[in-house]
Structure 1
Amino acid sequence: MSVPALHGRTALVTGGARGLGQGMAQALARAGASVVVADVLDEEAAETARVLAKEGVTAGSVHLDVTDEAGWEAAVAATVEQLGGLDVLVNNAGVEVTALVTEIDPADLRRMLDVNVVGTALGMKHGLRAMRPGGAAGTGGSIVNVSSVAATIAFPGIAGYSATKSAVDRMTRIAAAEAGKLGYGVRVNCVYPGLVPTAMGMKLAVDCAGIGLFDSPQAAVEAVVAQTPSGRLGEVADMADAVVFLASDAARFVNGTGLAVDGGMGS
């Protein structure tokens, strides 16, 4: 029986400077992987890499705006150069802008589409190119995309965000089918995180109250908990451990699917 272990593996995590991405980078490192932290927040990404290095992990950081294709090419090349390969890609970078459907700002919607959808698509494009036979790494691997429970439920205030995270789910499954048919040796899956009290998660609660959907941010949080059979919000470690599982050989026959890590909220 396999256990989630990543000794000798190399990983690139987008949006890895803080929040869920930082937790995912830490969990991958603690499972034995060497990690490159990619983010637009250069100082925070470098600090996360320094903390990992102090724990005896080979770690580095790279600037990456996931909407920029040249940036992706450079980030993947830097990862292969720094770590000697690329076995795991976590497409975690994302943005959320809360709005009633009647108040959607096209610029905000385009921003979410650009980061959450285009950014994930470019990540899969360049991750698959590097991992497939003949690529810069060329030994196969695992791609884990971060979708959201928002892709599986109808929660008010997040129509645009839900749309983008639903797109991540569909792209994940198609990429897995293509990679399998073409013999890339790369599994592609996604996770559906529930609400986690990170800065981004709590901003959602504040914004939902701000547009009149709930009496207060606490009421918004309580509404999420009330819909969650596990009776609590998620924790960063809940999401990070799921990513480690999907990246590892313990999930060797898990492919083209989405793993709900939402306490049952989307059931």
Structure 2
Amino acid sequence: MHDYDYENLSGRVILVTGGGRGLGAAICETLSKEGAQVAVADINKSTASQVADEITFGGHTAEAYAMDVGDERDIIKTYDNIINRFGHLDAIINNAGIDVTVGIREMKASDWHKVLATNLTGPFLVSKHGLPHLCPGGHIINVASTAARRAWPNASAYHASKWGLMGLTHALHSELRSEGIKVSAVIAGGMRTPFLLDRFPELDAQLLQDPKNVARTIKFVLTQPPETVIPEVMVLPMKESSWP
């Protein structure tokens, strides 16, 4: 670990996948204001650039990268670019996620594979190829969902991917702990983001939480003393009942 103060993020280089909008953008903004140098990765380069530009205009440090978390070559190339730009890597936030909201009868096999490729294989590949670059004391945070704890109709691929992501997270926590690498799951309840509101327009946005509140929790997880790790934490809106 570098000689930085664990209580703030100053000088830490942090990769955020799906950083171009919604929770990903909120994570990038929140961490950059705490002094982190943020690699904003998104499959959509223009939204990633928008987020990175806003951070830079605000006097903080960010760089945008076009990256498909399901594409191994893309990931390897992005890591090379991040190391060339920043010199090291301290944390990886696997936030990129998609869903295809249909019943199992309508779910195409190609859509199933697409959801699993982004939500589960993506964090596996991004973590695997990030490990050689992660500094001692580095951190991997996987953004899960209450969909990893309970189920609702027409989201079989999403539920399977998020339950799987919890398994992957705890397996990596167990495997990498002895090397001093921290691995955490942040289980987020309903947020006011396009990801949720575009798919479920009937939802009352007032019952959901601001994604910045989840980003603050991620900051909290990242600023524990070196001797402490938070393997999982759940962050729910007070008024929304997707979790009893």
After TM superposition, the score normalised by the length of structure 2 is 0.90
Partner of 1:235: 210
Q: Distance in 2 between matches of 1:47 and 1:65?
A: 17
Question: Which residue pairs with 1:51 in the alignment?
Answer: 54
User: Which residue of 1 is the match for residue 234 of structure 2?
Assistant: 260
Shift of 1:104: 2.3
2:161 to 164, 172, 179: 164
Deviates more, 1:257-266 or 1:170-179: 257-266
Q: Which has the higher strand share?
A: 2
Aligned residues: CA RMSD:
2.0
User: Could you say which structure has the larger radius of gyration?
Assistant: 1
Contact 2:103 2:155 in 1 (8 A): yes
1:61 aligns with 2:74: no
Could you tell me whether the CA contact under 8 Å between 1:192 and 1:260 is conserved in 2? yes
Deviations 1:90-117 (A, max 9, x none): 1111101111233322121111011111
1:29–1:116 Cα change, 3 Å: same
User: Which of residues 147, 151, 174 in structure 2 aligns to 1:150?
Assistant: 147
* Unpaired stretches in structure 2, ≥5 consecutive residues: none
CA spacing shift, 1:84–1:249, aligned 2, 3 Å: farther
1:213 maps to: none
Post-superposition Cα deviations, 1:105-145, rounded to whole Å, max 9, x if no partner, equal 212111101111111100110222211xxxxxx33311111
Aligned partners of 1:245 and 1:251 also within 8 Å:
no
Query: Quick one: which of 178, 182, 189 aligns to 2:184?
Result: 189
Q: Distance in 1 between matches of 2:131 and 2:208?
A: 33
2:224 is matched with which residue?
249
CA distance in 2, matches of 1:239, 1:252: 23
Change (3 A) 1:79 1:180: same
CA contact (8 A) 1:143 1:247 kept: no
The Cα of 1:249 is off from its aligned counterpart by 2.8
* Deviation at residue 243 of structure 1 after TM alignment: 1.2
| Deviations 1:190-229 (CA, angstroms, capped at 9, x unpaired) | 11111112111112214xxxxxxxxxx2xxx25xx9xxxx
TM-score computed with the length of structure 1 as normaliser:
0.83
Aligned residues: 237
- Quote the sequence identity (%): 30
Q: Which runs of 5+ in 1 are unaligned?
A: 132-137, 207-216, 226-230
